[in-house]
Each structure stands twice: as structure tokens, then as C-alpha cells.
Chains A and B, each alone.
Chain A
Amino acid sequence: SYVLTQPPSVSVAPGQTARITCGGNNIGSKGVHWYQQKPGQAPVLVVYDDSDRPSGIPERFSGSNSGNTATLTISRVEAGDEADYYCQVWDSSSDSRVFGGGTKLTVL
């Protein structure tokens, strides 16, 4: 089955840029989606189809996808961005949806 690999943690100072990666075999050929989950809350979709944002998501959240790595970029990081972030794809070979293991973003 398809495997998505995320770093367990990323730390960044307020106002700086956070980059969270999601690795997978030829992931650039798939649509990648990103979710934010704050403690005790349900996940929220922040980026879909590699780089599109749902309404209500700040422009500070952006995504890219190429080769074997997709990246979620959060610009001008705020304390409120501290959360777990998950990438997700649909794997056509197994006809299933796959999540990465998640990355905990810490705002220093």
C-alpha cells in the first residue's frame, strides 16, 4: 500500500515560515490534501489538490507538490497555527485514501 512520510515535528518562531513535507513515491502525480488538527478538535481542511485553499483559510497557507515530495508552507506563522498537520492522498492502486503520520508544528 502507498506510504506517506512526514517529519514528526517542526518548530518555528512566530513571524517566520514553516514548511512541512510529505514524502511518497511519485507523489507529484497525485493530488495532495492537508489537514490541520488542534488539540481536542476535529481536523480542518487547509489545502486541497496540492495548492487550493478552502474558503476561510488564510492566504498564509499554501501548498506545492512535485516529484516525491509535497510541501505545506505556512507564512508569517502565528501562535494559533500550532497544531498537528496531516497530508492525505487517494491511492488509485488500492482505491483507498491514505494519511501521512502527521507533523506537530510548534511555535516557539
Chain B
Amino acid sequence: DADVTQTPRNRITKTGKRIMLECSQTKGHDRMYWYRQDPGLGLRLIYYSFDVKDINKGEISDGYSVSRQAQAKFSLSLESAIPNQTALYFCATSDSGVAFFGQGTRLTVV
């Protein structure tokens, strides 16, 4: 089993719909991150969390929200999806600065 699991792996949704991407980890790490990957733009940080009571905005948090339901779970929501949120989304965990990534969720907003 993967240490960092993302669901779903692929999703197509319509403009204006609410969508949630989920992430769970078995590494026991306190720090969790959500990144977005676009071609030519690398990985950009959306939100990060150091524990269930700590949520921080990253570089591109507008249009996104997160919830840290437990140490092991960190979900990303798009309240009203728009086409330019079409991207590959990665969840990651860390305890010492090295990030461990999930397999990614490919989201398409049509």
C-alpha cells in the first residue's frame, strides 16, 4: 500500500461544481501539503498544514479551501470549479523537510 494515497486519481467535472480531493497518509507525519502541477510551471503550493489546528495558505490559495480532519487526512476543495483549475494535484507529507508525494489526481474542469 502507498504511504500517501490520493483519491480520486482522475476526475472530470463541470464548471461551477464543488469538488473535493482527498489525501490520506500512513507515515505518521504532522506536515501535509497540497500542490498543483501545470506544464512548464512546476509544482505550486496551494495550502499546507502542520497539525489539525494549523492551516496555512501557500502561493496560490485563491479558489481553494482545505480541511485537516485528522493527522492522517488532508482534503482539498474547489468550491466552484473553473477551467483554469484543470491541473495535476499532488498531496505530500513531511516530517523533516523531505516531502513524500502521492500519485496525484488529474482534474479536468470542462
Answer whether A and B are interacting partners: no
Binding site for A on B (CB under 8 A): none
